[in-house]
Amino acid sequence: MRIRATVAAVSGALALSAFVAPAAHAAGSSPDVTFSNMKVNKGSSMVVGTAKASFSVTYTVTHAASLPASDFATGPVIYRGSSVTSPTDLFASDDPGTCTAASSTVLNCKATLAFTVGGDSDLDNSEAGSWSVGGVAADADSNVKWVGGLGTTKVLRAAKLTADATPEPVKKGKTITVTGSLTRANWDTHKYGAYTGQSVKLQFRKKSATTYTTLKTVKSSSTGALKTTTTATADGYYRYSFAGTSTTAAVSATGDYVDVQ
């Protein structure tokens, strides 16, 4: 299980202990708070490459009138497993959320989930995919409350895609060859490596158009290479586009312009 969470001082001289594994706080009282409106990365997947990546989280906390906001701290968590109190893997924000009062008992909060790849890496390849979302609260007496079932999110491996159309220029009706490469972040080696056997679309956008049209679908080779041909019809841009998988983010190459004469 992985825990990435530290609670710093939240008000004046009040300093809360570090968030620890859920099992360590199975007994005892817990802060009288509830979480709602938890949104990770504005509802989009968290895409991580081979460097540190940080993502914003917003959420609402409702607390008992008898519990001053200065007496507790909160933060978001993502986890895998049957529940947040018995996870197979768990990440929490390194710092507590920054909150503003919406009323005497309601706080609107912001926090950050950060992942490090390389060196003392947080992530490995097996952790790409779907995660459950939850929250954690700790009070001045080091009581901790873990809340799960607040939604789902994804942590995906970043992908890179290139496209090169030749020859340039070309006569109308002649053959254009489009090569490229599909790679994705390897969180175990901390480098980008070939993403093999993946379906990738060759797309074309006329010079005067604003959208791309799919011409055909090809598969990446054992080295991640892409290569196919098409017929030159008009000036425009050629690119490859990858729809993504359950573990890897979608990506489209920058369009390569070809002048058709």
The sign of the dihedral angle between the CA atoms of 139, 26, 136, 128 is: positive
The Cα–Cα gap between 224 and 210 comes to 28
- pLDDT value for 178: 98
Question: In the beta sheet, which residues pair with residue 245?
Answer: none
- pLDDT value for 139: 86
Average pLDDT by consecutive 10-residue portion of the chain (261 residues)?
42 36 54 97 97 96 95 93 90 92 98 85 91 92 90 98 97 98 96 98 97 98 98 98 98 98 95
The Cα–Cα gap between 216 and 114 comes to 38
The Cα–Cα gap between 90 and 258 comes to 48
Q: Tell me the whole-structure pTM to 2 decimals.
A: 0.89
Angle 59-62-68 from CA coordinates, rounded to 5°: 115
Identify the CA nearest to 228 among candidates 199, 257, 191. Answer: 199
Q: Are 246 and 129 in contact (CB under 8 A)?
A: yes
Strand ranges (DSSP E) for 84-174?
87-92, 98-101, 106-115, 129-139, 144-147, 152-157, 159-166
- pLDDT value for 17: 41
- pLDDT value for 144: 87
- pLDDT value for 24: 46
- pLDDT value for 12: 28
Identify the CA nearest to 10 among candidates 69, 78, 93, 88. Answer: 69
